Amino acid sequence: MIARPLVALLFVAGCAAAPAWEKAGGDTATRDKDLAACQQELRFTSDEARRRDTRVAAARGELAPGRGTGYEALRGDIDASAQRRRDSRALTDCMQAKGYTSVP
């Protein structure tokens, strides 16, 4: 039974690897600066989304103390996974808009 969690961990670790970015005629310093700019933009938009989601959850009464079930924890994990996918896509979009392509 221990193999299932190990496989899941390895799968997640493999998915978490950041792509390398290249651009014709681009140098490392410029790439690093562009990547940092995209990551900063992503942090800002993610923070804004979290604040919005917290306000909505509070308005619905979903943040009441002591409310915690296995289902809510699972929903939180699923939401976090979906957020990571959205963040990854947003970073890719930002770098591609700057003329980069991802390389394995």
What pTM was estimated for this model as a whole? 0.58
In angstroms, the Cα distances linking 31 to 13, 89, 93 are 24, 18, 15
Average pLDDT of the segment spanning 39-50: 83
Closest to 13 (Cα-Cα) out of 93, 79, 83, 84: 84
3 state SS of 86: helix
Average pLDDT of the segment spanning 68-84: 72
Average pLDDT of the segment spanning 47-55: 77
DSSP code at position 2? T
User: What are 13-27's pLDDT values in tens digits?
Assistant: 445 556 799 999 889
How is 42-73 classified by DSSP, letter by letter? HHHHHHHHHHHHHHHHHHHTTT-TT---HHHH
Residue 39: its pLDDT value, please?
93
DSSP code at position 5? H
pLDDT of 99 higher than 90: yes
